[in-house]
Structure 1
Amino acid sequence: MRFVAITSCPTGIAHTYMAAEALEQAARAAGHEMHVETQGAAGSAPLDPEVIAAADAVIYAADLEVRDRDRFAGKPFVDVGVKAPINDAAAVLAAAAEAAENAAVPSATDAGTGAVPDGGAPAPVTKVTAHGGAATRVRQWLMTGVSYMIPFVAAGGILIALGFMVGGYQINTAQPDEIVNGFDVTSAHAWGALLYLTGSAVFAFLVPVLAGFIAFAIADRPGLVPGFLGGAVSVTVGAGFLGGLVAGFLAGFLALGLTRLPVPAAVRGVMPVVVTPLVASFGTGLAMFVVLGRPLRALMEALNGWLGSLSGSSLVLLGALVGLMMAVDMGGPVNKVAYTFATAGLAAVGASADSGAVEFTIMAAAMAAGMTPPLGLALATLVRPRLFTPGEIQNGKAAWLLGASFITEGAIPFAAADPLRVIPALVAGSGVTGALVAVFGATLRAPHGGIWVTPLIGDPLLFLLALLIGTAVTALGVCLLKSLGRRAATASADARSESAAPAGV
């Protein structure tokens, strides 16, 4: 059979390409032909229309809205999350093959999704969904906004942190005129101001980008203008990140409703370009300024006040919770919730916040806890190699770099092969790391970068100490659980051999 697939994940880095590789390997092993379009952070090369036309079925392994999905109209498809092929690509492939076989039966048509090629009858379509429902759609829309926001968070946050490192914390008073009217290339203050102001400008896009691409995921291009407008209004009225979430969904559904209105043919051409953006923008602005702005601002202020009041055991518990969430699904939705919470704190306090703000400690806890799983597994393969397969030992070598670079997904191959023993160890190690970062009071203004942004960390030695302890806990937990499992399997095998032995032997 011939298959085409789309893979995408919120960050567009690891899961996207791991899922693609898993599908290609499974298809090769089963004797099928597979072409994958990775809609990741590096962009994507669209599938050849002839390849799509020849395909027997389509596999959507995506946690985001699939771009240009209309290309596959009329094809039977399987719709799963991006982790499904990483965990069991053969099962996903088998479901796609079943969908293709069912599509050959006329009764298997799915009304409303079949294409009408060359004016003929709708092509038979079979939908096999491994995850579905309203909750899944909402998560996909939200993750689409987050995925487009993350590059702005990373670039803006690191630039701001570099500005503080070069120009000192007093650089937050820098004004654009200082560098526009005369830039002194020999002045550290001038370079610090340039970095800080550039990063602050990038940071200003966070909420509009989040809202704009949530709306885009819901309503496609007609949702972009009202979505960005809603995010900008949220910043203006002080509703911040929470306001951006609400504005994105509001703008998206307004635009989607307008695009579905039955209108005369003469008006249909200008609807997506003029009418829908205009009316949806006005509706979103009206709702955000007049109705939702004040309560959302109050809610955001209450959240910021609660975070600012955290200290002692409360902060430690929050650090541990963020750490647990960063490890439990290794870059999946729970991980992204924790990471988005941490980066939203950075956006909420702003670039000018005091260097000891609680939000910076939470960001440090999130990054350290996200680095711990791959580093702990890499250490485990080094100290107890006999507990791992040759392939896992090779993955362990790569996990050193992935963990150091804050790519939690480096732990996925180990967890997919042995989830019951690996995941509890990862959660324990990351929970300890997050709690220790909070205890030590380490801070971080840069929302990404891993070990490579150590100079930008407040109390870097304590941060590294927390990371080392968490890595050791993870490695110890993995080795212990795998050793217990190994002993249990050996004891079971011995018992079977004894019961099968002849009497007197």
Structure 2
Amino acid sequence: MLSKEFIKMNLTGKNKNEILEEMVDILDKGGVLNDKEEYLRVVKEREATSSTGLEEGIAIPHGKTKAVKKATIAFGKSETGVDFNSLDGEKARLFFMIAAPEGTTDEHIEMLSKITNKLLNDEFREKLDNAKTEDEIIKLFNSVEKKENEATIKRDGYVVAVTACPVGIAHTYMAADSLINKALELGVDIKVETNGSVGVKNELTTEDIKRATGVIIAADKSIDMDRFEGKKLIQVPVKEAIRIPEELINKTLNGEGTIFHSSSKKESKTTAKNEKTGAYKHLMNGVSNMLPLVVCGGVLIALSIALSGIKAGAGADVTNPFLKSMLDLGVTAFGLMIPVLSGYIAMSIADRPGLAPGLVGGALANTAGAGFLGGMVAGFAAGYIAKWVKNWNVPAGLRPIMPIFVIPLVSTGLVGILMYFISSPISGFMNALTNVLKGMQAGSIFLALILGLMISFDMGGPINKVAFLFGSAMITQGVPEVMGPIAVAICIPPIGMGLATMIGGKNFEISEREAGKAAFAMGLIGITEGAIPFAAADPLRVIPSIMTGSAIGAVIAAIGKVTDHAPHGGPIVLPVVDNKLMFIIAIVVGSLITAIMVNILKKIKK
């Protein structure tokens, strides 16, 4: 599918859009497109979902549409490279554009897999980078194809593997190809199942699993594990299959790993070690499913408030019927955010039986005002309770109704009882905090510091609500000096995390970098919840960073005697703020501190 007429050795585009247009031109001149503009639109639409920039200077933009006559690959090289929002943050130099006609199942995904398989070879990639002519490119691909076809199985044993990443685009297939490539090199018989964006491909059969010497699970999201009952498993994050495929294959063939038991009560040290990865995987399953609600809800709320404005003493003033409907849609999406987080954490732990108790636990956390931290607690509690009930040894007659009746009913009831006992202490705690704040002097630096820490700690949770409601009450009593530092602290978490993804792209996944743009926009409108996906995914590094930035911003606002006459925050309240310059300085300084601190902490982690 790659010939000389579809190769261009000196791309001249200076940015992502110019490169895409230039690559589409190559395909169009080769006569494989019915509608050039339509194909370009589809490719750009695909890029808007998540960038196809991978790592090591490689990008594989692709599109599947009726505007394509026949499946074709175009290749182009850029000497200087362009910013392509790649996974590693580096400029892309080598571009493969895949054009697939509609109605060809998932041919473009198979072509993508084929290309990434070759590009995982460092020697091949280096030769491709150094090639000067179209003939060299064709010869290079042909020589690799020949070498792959000549490979023979030399070692005893049969390895099966499953690869899966939360987004299901790049790492899923790169991990699969890395394992397959290394197995060919070692002469090992292997079969790899991919759980990607197009669903399960190359699914492992019961016979495959039964015959396998061992199983490699390279996944960052929930997959069907019960089928591996009694098999030796090696469980790692998906990136490990890209980084150390040989080590994983050798360990599997040598009989290393932990025997998997879905109802095992005793866990070996290896299993305990993998449970840490498991907890993170469950959390990320919740975060990745919650993220669309945060973005769409936040953007709808932000637009409706931005187009309506803020009134002194009243806050957001949305009266236009259309904008009110937009606001209601956004609020509805935000209302589902915590239940979805909890539900999908629980589902990752206990599979489908965990979804109902997780959703209910998240809804109860919302009602109790427990915020995203309460939602996380509810999700993990629901998941492990459902898993426990799922493993009950029940009579054979009850087994058919366990997943649809017994497990959801019992686990939902237990989660409800748990959340009931949690909600009462939260209410008492909120009242106690309010009384403490009332005893502090309005306008003091210490009060501003405490309010800044409270606002950013749980972003919509009970501690945040106490601080916000206290500031709002003070406005009605003619003391707007309290709301000034709060208005600054409210917007620093989302603006700071948005800046963090812009200045330290390498430290964030593609989905996080996209969420960073939405978070920044939400911060401008004073929606603290825009930072929740980052805090939920990495609380130990994100929460201290946003608390530090918000606290410093609030203190600067107090020193500058910033006052806010509306119960709202962020730059949108600027018209009703006194001492506007200090208000802006406080936001800028606090946001930069958050952005810099979180990137430093993430680099230390790496």
Q: Secondary structure at the match of 1:265?
A: coil
Aligned-pair distance for 1:280?
A: 2.0
Aligned-pair distance for 1:152?
A: 1.9
For 2:201, the aligned partner's letter is L
Per the alignment, residue 148 of structure 1 pairs with 289
TM-score by length of 2: 0.47
Change (3 A) 1:344 1:257: same
Per the alignment, residue 45 of structure 1 pairs with 199
Instruction: State percent identity of aligned pairs.
Output: 25
Q: Distance in 1 between matches of 2:184 and 2:269?
A: 22
Q: Secondary structure at the match of 1:227?
A: helix
Per the alignment, residue 321 of structure 2 pairs with 190
Residue 17 of structure 1, aligned match among 165, 170, 191: 170
Residue 254 of structure 2, aligned match among 102, 107, 111: 102
Residue 223 of structure 2, aligned match among 55, 58, 67: 67
Deviations 1:224-279 (A, max 9, x none): 22222222223334444443333333332332222211111111101111122122
Change (3 A) 1:98 1:232: same
Change (3 A) 1:246 1:109: closer
Change (3 A) 1:317 1:297: closer
Question: What does 1:375-414 align with in structure 2 at a 5 Å threshold?
Answer: 375-376=502-503, 405=517
Q: Distance in 1 between matches of 2:486 and 2:191?
A: 45
Per the alignment, residue 255 of structure 1 pairs with 386
Q: Is the Cα–Cα contact under 8 Å of residues 358 and 383 in structure 2 kept in the other structure?
A: yes
Residue 7 of structure 1, aligned match among 161, 164, 180: 164
Q: Distance in 1 between matches of 2:384 and 2:596?
A: 46
Aligned-pair distance for 1:139?
A: 3.6
Deviations 1:148-202 (A, max 9, x none): 223222222221111111222369788xxxxxxxxxxxx9712221121111111
Per the alignment, residue 492 of structure 2 pairs with 365
Residue 166 of structure 1, aligned match among 280, 297, 307: 307
Change (3 A) 1:257 1:100: closer
Aligned-pair distance for 1:47?
A: 2.3
Deviations 1:334-389 (A, max 9, x none): xxxx9x944758995899996968676456433444344564468xxxxxxxxxxx
Q: Secondary structure at the match of 2:201?
A: coil
Per the alignment, residue 348 of structure 2 pairs with 217
Does residue 58 (structure 1) correspond to residue 210 (structure 2)? The answer is no
Per the alignment, residue 199 of structure 1 pairs with 330
Higher relative contact order (CA 8 A, sep 6+): 1
Q: Is the Cα–Cα contact under 8 Å of residues 282 and 348 in structure 2 kept in the other structure?
A: yes
For 2:343, the aligned partner's letter is G
Change (3 A) 1:220 1:305: farther
Residue 424 of structure 2, aligned match among 291, 294, 297: 294
Deviations 1:127-155 (A, max 9, x none): 99698255444443333333322322222
Per the alignment, residue 285 of structure 1 pairs with 416
TM-score by length of 1: 0.55
Question: What does 1:269-284 align with in structure 2 at a 5 Å threshold?
Answer: 269-284=400-415
Q: Distance in 1 between matches of 2:591 and 2:386?
A: 49
Q: Is the Cα–Cα contact under 8 Å of residues 375 and 471 in structure 1 kept in the other structure?
A: no
Change (3 A) 1:466 1:278: same
Change (3 A) 1:431 1:76: same
For 1:296, the aligned partner's letter is I
Q: Is the Cα–Cα contact under 8 Å of residues 304 and 348 in structure 1 kept in the other structure?
A: no
Q: Secondary structure at the match of 2:397?
A: helix
Give the number of the structure whose residues are more often helix, by fraction. Answer: 1
More off after superposition, 132-141 vs 245-254: 132-141
Q: Secondary structure at the match of 2:374?
A: helix
Q: Is the Cα–Cα contact under 8 Å of residues 349 and 387 in structure 2 kept in the other structure?
A: yes
Deviations 1:3-62 (A, max 9, x none): 6442335xx49xx735754664586477568857355xxx45212225894987434242
Q: Is the Cα–Cα contact under 8 Å of residues 452 and 553 in structure 2 kept in the other structure?
A: yes
Q: Secondary structure at the match of 1:266?
A: coil
For 1:46, the aligned partner's letter is V
Q: Distance in 2 between matches of 1:200 and 1:22?
A: 39
Give the number of the structure whose residues are more often strand, by fraction. Answer: 2
More off after superposition, 311-320 vs 164-173: 311-320
Q: Secondary structure at the match of 2:235?
A: strand
Per the alignment, residue 80 of structure 1 pairs with 236
Change (3 A) 1:246 1:406: closer
Q: Distance in 2 between matches of 1:406 and 1:167?
A: 19
Per the alignment, residue 208 of structure 1 pairs with 339
Q: Distance in 2 between matches of 1:96 and 1:18?
A: 16
Residue 89 of structure 1, aligned match among 242, 257, 263: 242
Q: Distance in 2 between matches of 1:307 and 1:23?
A: 56
Aligned-pair distance for 1:102?
A: 1.7
Change (3 A) 1:136 1:50: closer
- Specify the structure having the higher radius of gyration (Cα): 2
Change (3 A) 1:79 1:407: farther
For 2:223, the aligned partner's letter is R
Change (3 A) 1:97 1:253: closer
Q: Distance in 1 between matches of 2:179 and 2:574?
A: 43
For 1:78, the aligned partner's letter is I
Q: Distance in 1 between matches of 2:358 and 2:338?
A: 10
More off after superposition, 354-363 vs 212-221: 354-363
Q: Is the Cα–Cα contact under 8 Å of residues 141 and 218 in structure 1 kept in the other structure?
A: yes
Q: Is the Cα–Cα contact under 8 Å of residues 215 and 248 in structure 1 kept in the other structure?
A: yes
Per the alignment, residue 488 of structure 1 pairs with none
Q: Distance in 2 between matches of 1:237 and 1:472?
A: 31
Q: Is the Cα–Cα contact under 8 Å of residues 308 and 319 in structure 2 kept in the other structure?
A: yes
Show structure 1 runs of 5+ residues with no match: 115-126, 175-186, 323-337, 379-391, 409-428, 447-452, 478-505
Show structure 2 runs of 5+ residues with no match: 1-152, 154-158, 263-267, 476-482, 521-544, 601-606
Q: Secondary structure at the match of 1:205?
A: helix
Q: Distance in 1 between matches of 2:301 and 2:466?
A: 13
